[in-house]
Amino acid sequence: MAWRKTYDGAEPQRVNKWLASEGVCSRREAEELIANGLVSIDGAVVAEPGRKIERGQTIEVADARGAPAKISVAINKPIGFVSSQPEGDQVPAARLLTKANLIGRADPMPTSRTSLAPLGRLDQDSRGLLLLSEDGVLAKAAIGEDSKLDKEYLVGVRGQINDRKLALLRHGLELDGRKLKPAQIDVVEPWRIRFILNEGRKRQIRRMCELVELEVVDLLRVRIGPLWLGDLPEGKWRALTPAERDALIKQSKGN
């Protein structure tokens, strides 16, 4: 099915940049579509990758039939698996992407040759929602510098929780010499804290807790932007739907 939209920007914009910002494809993929004659403006095929679209013009991207679909999946990662490139005897979370672990359908199925990048860190000793994808547009939405997606965690801790520590966790800490962005912090049980973060520094939650003399004993990510872990069983995975992809991209822009 073709994609069609009328440009309403105030200033002319390069076609590949606008298609990427709309979540249609990455800039490089847009250039490939243009080279294959699959992009047109007001009915005229776009011949130059540097072509700009102006306000009121309608762009159409033809259905590139035969092109492989971009695979994006959600995993409920157990403890013991790494989200990033494994080292030594570490086991990557992508090993979980078997037919036996699949909930629902996946078309196409990932294979050993599929290169799926983690869209955000989730440490080996943490569990919960992890996104893997080969979709460059979705990756930028999830982990790009300008992304507005927040992440929600339920964190079990050992130690005394008090108002002073909660205040510091919310807006009073620094890591690596840089002040952290404000965090939403709530106590949901006597030993469990909800963290909602708008950044993803390395082992951020564990290090934040260490600074206020709390020890993390369990860390579960339950949400990335509009996407919830829900009832996906631990160790299982499912394919991301087009509607979920669109929602992630939309919210990443603050919409």
SS3 (DSSP) at 213: coil
Annotation says 246 is catalytic:
no
- CA–CA separation, 155 and 189 (whole Å): 10
- CA–CA separation, 78 and 97 (whole Å): 13
Question: Quick one: which H or E segment has residue 75?
Answer: strand 72-77
Measure the CA angle with vertex 180, ends 127 and 244; round to 5°. 45
Given the residues 123, 125, 218, 246, select the one marked as catalytic.
123
- CA–CA separation, 219 and 176 (whole Å): 22
- Residues 6+ away with beta carbon under 8 Å from 85: 92
Query: Could you tell me the two tokens for 20?
Result: 């990427």
- CA–CA separation, 102 and 104 (whole Å): 6
Q: Is the dihedral of CA 37, 38, 40, 46 positive or negative?
A: negative
Measure the CA angle with vertex 71, ends 81 and 226; round to 5°. 75
Q: Which residues carry out catalysis?
A: 123
